[in-house]
Every structure is written in C-alpha cells, then in structure tokens.
Amino acid sequence: MKIKGLVHFVYAICLVSVLLGIQGPVHGRLLSLKKPDPENAAATARWLVSQNSWGVLNTISSELGGAPFGNVVSFSDGEPGKGRGIPYFYLTTLDPTARNALKDQRASLTISEHPIGTCGKTDPENPTCAKITLTGKLKLADKDSKETEFAKNALFSKHPEMKDWPKNHNFEFFKLDIENIFLIDWFGGPKPLTVDQYLHTRTTEYAFILGFLI
Amino acid sequence: MKIKGLVHFVYAICLVSVLLGIQGPVHGRLLSLKKPDPENAAATARWLVSQNSWGVLNTISSELGGAPFGNVVSFSDGEPGKGRGIPYFYLTTLDPTARNALKDQRASLTISEHPIGTCGKTDPENPTCAKITLTGKLKLADKDSKETEFAKNALFSKHPEMKDWPKNHNFEFFKLDIENIFLIDWFGGPKPLTVDQYLHTRTTEYAFILGFLI
C-alpha cells in the first residue's frame, strides 16, 4: 500500500505540473513557464530569450578569412522574472568570439525553443518549434556601471558556476545591442517585430506568475 | 504486488540503460551512445555531429549589411550508425540562410553537447560540456548524384517529418564542405584537429554498438 501511495503522489505532482505549464527546472533554478500564443510575437520572443540559458553567438572571424563563426555561449537577460530582453554574456579573449567582437562588433545570437523542452517530437527546423536570431553589435559593457552590475546579477543568478570561473582568464561582461529581430514561431515566415516592440512588451504577467511559483 | 513488480521492472530498465550508456532516444530514433574520452578529439567531434539532430548554421547576411546570421537548422551526417561526418541540410530559399549561402558560401555549423543530455548540471559554456564549430563552404548538393541520395537518406531517417514538408517550398539538399574545426571538449583551449583526422577517424566501434542496440 505504501508503494501504491507513492505512485499516486508522483502522478499528482505530474498532473499539477502539467496544469501549471511547468516543464521542469532548467539548471535547477529557472522555471519554464507556458509558451505565449504564437500570434503574440513580442511575448514569444521575450519568452524564448528569458527561458533559455544558452544559444549560439555569431561573429565575423578575423582568424578564418571573415567567415561567420558561431560559438556556444551561456547568456542571461536578467534574474529569473526580471529579464529586460537584452542578452548579456561572460566572455574571455582566450576564446575567439570575444576577440572577434573587439575587432568587428557585428554579431547575432541564435536561440531555439528546443532546449526549453516545449517542442515535443516536433522537428527543431519545423517553424512551430520557435527560433529567434537577434542581430546587432556585441559590445563590452562599461566597467563599474549600473548595467554591468545588472549583467553580473543576471548571469550569476542563472549560471551560478560562473562566479567561480578562473580569475586569470579575465572574463568580462558583454552585451548585444539589438538592431534586428528574426523570429519564426509558426508557419508563414518570420514575424514582423521591431526592437522597440520587443523591448517594451508587457512582461508583468509572466513576472508575477514566476514570483508566485518560486 | 503487481505495482511493486512494475516498479522493479522500471528500475531494472533504468539500470540497464545507465550501464549501456544510453541517455534516451532523440526524436525516438537515434540512441545516444557513450561520450568518447575527451583526449580523443576526432572521436569526440564525430560523436557530437552524429548524436545531435540540430545546430546553428551561420552565414553572411546580404540583407543585414554583411552581419553574421545564425539560424536553427536540423542536419544529419548519415543514417544512424552510418555517419560520415559531413553535415547535410534540407533548406529552402524562403529562408535567409539558403539565400545567403547562394550569394556567399562562407558558413559555419555550431553544435553543443547540451541537447544530447550528457552535460548534466554543467553550464553549457563550461569547456567540459563539449561544443564544435565546423567552418567551411555551404553548397547546394548536385541534383541526382549519389551524394544527394546519401543526404536524402541521412536527413529523412533522422528527421522523418521532412519528407512531408511542402513541395512548393522547394526544399533542396545542401552540404557543408568543412575547412576548419574548432572543438572544445575539456579545459585548455580548442583541441588541435585537422579535417582529415576528423573525416577518417575509426567509427566502426560506435557503429557496431549502435547496430547491436537498434
């Protein structure tokens, strides 16, 4: 009977999770909230950026004849529930991405819905498994500024191990100044979405739900 | 007792899976085999490419002032257990990546170990969570060639829904001719690895295990 009770308890937890739209913890910290309606491009874009912990950051490779060079990076747009939509990074010039950006700031960050766990069995290239590319300039954040403090809290809250990364590797905070947004979240091609719409969409509702859950 | 028996059965399945190094099915088809020793750069690189189903394909955007433009794509280097290391894609010029490549072939494909599920709680930017960037030229595969037949089988076996994608979207087979390999699979910077070493490493062992399991 004890085992039967345990099985019922696990079923109940699963049911509550599904009803609340929780897909499980990402790195044990960030809860994935329900995906917005694909019709709401700005909310979907902000959801993709806030719920993901990593993406591919692309720069122009000065070492490979100007080739577009993608690199797997961790990023954050804010502490859980406090994202602002601007991705911040913690990079070292021991890695080509930071070196490239310091020579040519043109860059893009590409994120898939797939790692969030909400695509199910849908193919990652299928337009209903959302994807976003933020294109702009990859810049070193001003040292000792309020923004750098925000970037530090944003990154270290979602990527706790970063604060222990080797000091002598000279990691620094970078940000992507977004100039263009390419969002696919349904059939019919990219969704029209301006940077202004993206940055100023109302995310209060999501922040409230997150605040309630954690 | 029946429930107790079921619980024991599930435990047994989990134990056998762990012992065999299976991390679960990817899209219900591809089995993730045990990660090679990071010291073996060629095997690790081939494992990353063969076990992943998607990555970010980067091109030079003619529409965004020459910016590096990453896009989430599905790819395949061969049918399960028969990968050759060369990534193939199924792209349409309705999407900017194919349009960019037809104007400027310079491209890179970036893949993370994270989606395979073997990084555990390690941060995706941590060097022990492996990542690879294959840089080269993104080319349209010759129509009606043996290679295109290989690409078709490679892609449709790992991405079954592709064969039903809309005919009027004019999807075509593309390949990445690899010229440079950037592999991070441990501390200490990128692993030296030539294209020749990558393409001609012995993968028989992995193919055998895969053949045995499926």
> Could you read off the pLDDT of A73-82 as tens digits, one per residue?
999 999 998 9
Q: Which of A54, A65, A70 sits opposite B124 (nearest CB)?
A: A54
Does residue B65 belong to the interface with chain A, where contact is any CB pair within 8 Å? yes
Domain range for A143 is 26-213
In a domain, B18, yes or no: no
Looking at the complex, report in whole angstroms how far the Cα of residue B212 sits from the nearest Cα belonging to chain A: 25
Q: For residues A14 and A23, give the distance between their C-alpha atoms in angstroms, rounded to a whole number.
A: 10
Q: For residues B192 and B111, give the distance between their C-alpha atoms in angstroms, rounded to a whole number.
A: 17
Q: State the pLDDT at residue A184.
A: 98
In a domain, A14, yes or no: no
Q: Which residues of B touch A111 (CB under 8 A)?
A: 72
In a domain, A21, yes or no: no
Q: State the pLDDT at residue A5.
A: 58
Q: Which of B66, B133, B159 sits opposite A123 (nearest CB)?
A: B159
Confidence of residue A9 (pLDDT cuts 50, 70, 90): low
When mean pLDDT is compared across A22-31, A153-162, B51-60, B72-81, the lowest value belongs to A22-31
Higher pLDDT, A214 or A183: A183
- Give me Rg for the CA atoms of chain A: 19
**Inter-axis angle of helices B204-213 and B41-51, nearest 10:** 40
In a domain, A11, yes or no: no
Asked whether the beta carbons of residue A109 and residue B53 sit closer than 8 angstroms, the reply is no
Q: State the pLDDT at residue B26.
A: 32
In a domain, B8, yes or no: no
Q: Three-state DSSP class for A190?
A: coil
Looking at the complex, report in whole angstroms how far the Cα of residue B133 sits from the nearest Cα belonging to chain A: 7
Arithmetic mean of pLDDT over chain A: 86
Does pLDDT of B186 surpass 70? Answer: yes
In a domain, A99, yes or no: yes
| Element containing residue B134 per DSSP (H, E) | strand B131-140
Asked whether the beta carbons of residue A123 and residue B28 sit closer than 8 angstroms, the reply is no
Q: For residues A55 and A89, give the distance between their C-alpha atoms in angstroms, rounded to a whole number.
A: 11
> Which CATH number fits the domain that encloses residue B105?
2.30.110.10
Does pLDDT of A209 surpass 60? Answer: no
Confidence of residue A3 (pLDDT cuts 50, 70, 90): low
Length of chain A: 214
Asked whether the beta carbons of residue B110 and residue A56 sit closer than 8 angstroms, the reply is yes
ipTM over 0.85: no
In a domain, B126, yes or no: yes
Q: For residues A39 and A5, give the distance between their C-alpha atoms in angstroms, rounded to a whole number.
A: 42
Higher pLDDT, B143 or A177: A177
Does residue A15 belong to the interface with chain B, where contact is any CB pair within 8 Å? no
Does pLDDT of B91 surpass 60? Answer: yes
pLDDT in tens, B137-155: 999 999 889 999 999 999 9
Neighbours of A151 (CB within 10 A): 25
Looking at the complex, report in whole angstroms how far the Cα of residue B117 sits from the nearest Cα belonging to chain A: 10
Q: State the pLDDT at residue B144.
A: 86
Residue A152 CA neighbour count, 13 Å, CB half: 12
pLDDT in tens, B28-82: 333 447 899 999 999 999 999 999 999 999 999 999 999 999 999 999 999 999 9
Domains in chain A, number: 1
Chain A stretch 98-117, residues whose beta carbon is closer than 8 A to a beta carbon of chain B:
106-112, 114-115
DSSP state for residue B80 in the 8-state scheme:
T
Looking at the complex, report in whole angstroms how far the Cα of residue A152 sits from the nearest Cα belonging to chain B: 16
Chain B stretch 118-147, residues whose beta carbon is closer than 8 A to a beta carbon of chain A:
121-126, 131, 133, 135
Does residue A150 belong to the interface with chain B, where contact is any CB pair within 8 Å? no
Q: What is the rounded average pLDDT of the residues A158-178? A: 97
Q: State the pLDDT at residue B21.
A: 38
Q: For residues B96 and B169, give the distance between their C-alpha atoms in angstroms, rounded to a whole number.
A: 13
Q: For residues B199 and B175, give the distance between their C-alpha atoms in angstroms, rounded to a whole number.
A: 14
Q: Which residues of A touch B121 (CB under 8 A)?
A: 27-28
Q: State the pLDDT at residue B2.
A: 57
